[in-house]
Amino acid sequence: MRFNNQTKIALATAACLVAQGYAFDFILKVQPHTLVIFSPLILYIGYLIFRARIDPQYQNPLYWIAAVVVLTLSNLGMYSF
């Protein structure tokens, strides 16, 4: 089964949201700001809105998946210390 680029990015975003939520609740035991919680989703919504205007060289889903993962890790990093 082949997924299109939008589905790949959506699956990565969903996985990052679940992992981030689990880490905040059960590992770090913190309640971050709502904007921090939903920031990977906001990045994905930005991709959906602006994907027609994005230069084709930046439409590679790996760039967007990497951006979502880096954003998630930076969110976790802010609250881990």
What's the pLDDT tens digit per position in 30-71?
999 999 999 999 999 999 999 889 888 888 999 999 999 999
The ranges assigned to domains in the chain are 5-79
Pairwise CA distance, residues 17 & 12, whole Å: 9
Closest CA to 9 of 52, 34, 40: 40
Closest CA to 12 of 58, 44, 35: 44
Cβ atoms < 10 Å from Cβ of 34: 8
| Whole-structure pTM value | 0.92
